[in-house]
Amino acid sequence: MTCPQCNQRIPAKALWTPAGLSGVVCTNCNAALCPKPISAILVFTVSFGLGDLALMLLRHKGAEFWLACLGFFVVFAAVFALAAPVFLRMRLKDHGDPHLSGHRA
């Protein structure tokens, strides 16, 4: 995963912010970044799909429902943590976009 402004590598720890993926900042040039939508959808879909597969497998093996749900969340989080630095492509955050709420500040 590289910064589109300075073309330097963005460390994976830069993704783990309290603001989530919307608060990623390049550690080299301090550019505000956000993920490209298609790459974010890909990471979420892969994480959710493998988590759901774990849920179904655990339920098929006779695990309790709460244990199967816990397995889903563990697999989802692990796959997301491993796939995000590999598949996410970042772009510069456009600060001129209107807010989704429609309110004007």
The residue-averaged pLDDT of 4-18 equals 83
Answer yes or no: is 6 within a domain. no
> What confidence tens digit (pLDDT) does each residue in 20-79 have?
777 788 888 888 888 888 998 999 999 999 999 999 999 999 999 999 999 999 999 999
Domain that holds residue 35: 12-92
Bridge partner list, 32: 25
Answer yes or no: is 40 within a domain. yes
Check pLDDT > 70 for residue 105.
no
Band of the pLDDT at 1, cuts 50, 70, 90? confident
Answer yes or no: is 105 within a domain. no
Kindly report the pTM of this predicted structure: 0.74
Which of left, alpha, beta for 45 (phi over 0: left; psi -120 to 50: alpha)?
alpha
**Could you give the number of structural domains in the chain?**
1
Band of the pLDDT at 3, cuts 50, 70, 90? confident
